[in-house]
């Protein structure tokens, strides 16, 4: 059975601005769960968030320090490559710009890595300029484990597989290295507005 409510598929919805729906997508009201493996459960006192790789000095924040960083609450639309989109989702977290503040790097790319072994690669430019966050709250509630809690990456302008659940760090790299789905045939960048679903799109 598909993890989304049946009946919306392919049916145009009158309450939705079509300009907000990327090509080939349909809108859902619920919040599907898509995980390639079991949900990891890392204790908060063992959790930290690390930026390392091609930086002048690696940085790492334990949970409490991460929560004390300047945060933002914002509302965005999200788009999964399996064709569902969810509009107007509200999140709280720390922007990647804030995390990178004061760091010196000549890296062009980033690998986001997660508890459980998931990785996804992005150009550094897709994570900066206020377009990406590490979020720990959804709809004013702590982020549920099945949706990536305690914290996940959120990169809403790219397909949702780039938004790594259970994210624990960003490794900055001089070369682009395909992540989990990118190595399995998904598009390297994944822009939903260009319908970059698979490697040859």
Ligand X SMILES: Nc1nc2c(c(=O)[nH]1)N[C@H]1C(S)=C(S)[C@@H](COP(=O)(O)O)O[C@H]1N2
Residues making contact with Mo ion (CB under 5 A): 34, 80-81, 161
Distances (CA, A) of 180 to 20, 46, 88, 91: 28, 24, 27, 25
**How many residues contact ligand X, by CB under 6 A?**
18
How many whole angstroms separate alpha carbon 125 and alpha carbon 128?
5
> Which tokens hold the place of 141?
């509630």
**Residue 57, class by beta-carbon neighbours within 10 Å (0-12 exposed, 13-18 middle, 19+ buried)?**
exposed
Asked if 22 is part of the footprint of ligand X (rule: CB under 6 A), the reply reads no
> Is residue 114 at the binding interface for ligand X, with CB under 6 A as the rule?
yes
SS3 state at 161: helix
Tell whether residue 184 is a contact of ligand X (CB under 6 A). no
Nearer to ligand X, 61 or 161 (CB): 161
- Which residue is nearest to ligand X, using beta carbons? 118
Q: In the complex with ligand X, which residue's Cβ is closer, 48 or 105?
A: 48
State the minimum distance, in angstroms, from the CB of residue 153 to ligand X.
Answer: 8
CB 127 within 8 A of CB 155: yes
Give the residues lining the site for ligand X (CB under 6 A): 31-36, 80, 114, 116, 118, 147-148, 160-161, 163-166
């Amino acid at each position: 059975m598909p993890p989304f409510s049946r009946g919306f598929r392919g049916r145009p919805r009158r309450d939705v601005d079509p300009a907000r729906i990327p090509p080939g997508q349909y809108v859902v009201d619920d919040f599907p769960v898509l995980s390639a493996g079991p949900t990891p459960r890392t204790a908060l006192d063992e959790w930290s968030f690390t930026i390392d790789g091609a930086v002048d000095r690696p940085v790492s924040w334990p949970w409490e320090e991460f929560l004390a960083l300047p945060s933002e609450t914002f509302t965005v639309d999200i788009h999964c490559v399996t064709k569902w989109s969810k509009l107007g989702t509200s999140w709280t977290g720390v922007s990647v710009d804030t995390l990178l503040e004061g760091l010196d790097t000549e890296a062009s790319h980033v690998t986001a890595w997660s508890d459980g072994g998931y990785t996804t690669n992005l150009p550094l430019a897709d994570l900066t300029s206020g377009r990406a966050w590490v979020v720990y709250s959804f709809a004013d509630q702590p982020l549920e484990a099945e949706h990536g809690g305690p914290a996940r990456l959120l990169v809403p302008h790219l397909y949702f597989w780039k938004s790594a659940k259970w994210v624990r760090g960003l490794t900055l790299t001089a070369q682009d290295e395909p992540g989990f789905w990118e190595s399995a045939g998904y598009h390297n960048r994944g822009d939903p507005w260009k319908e970059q679903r698979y490697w040859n799109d």
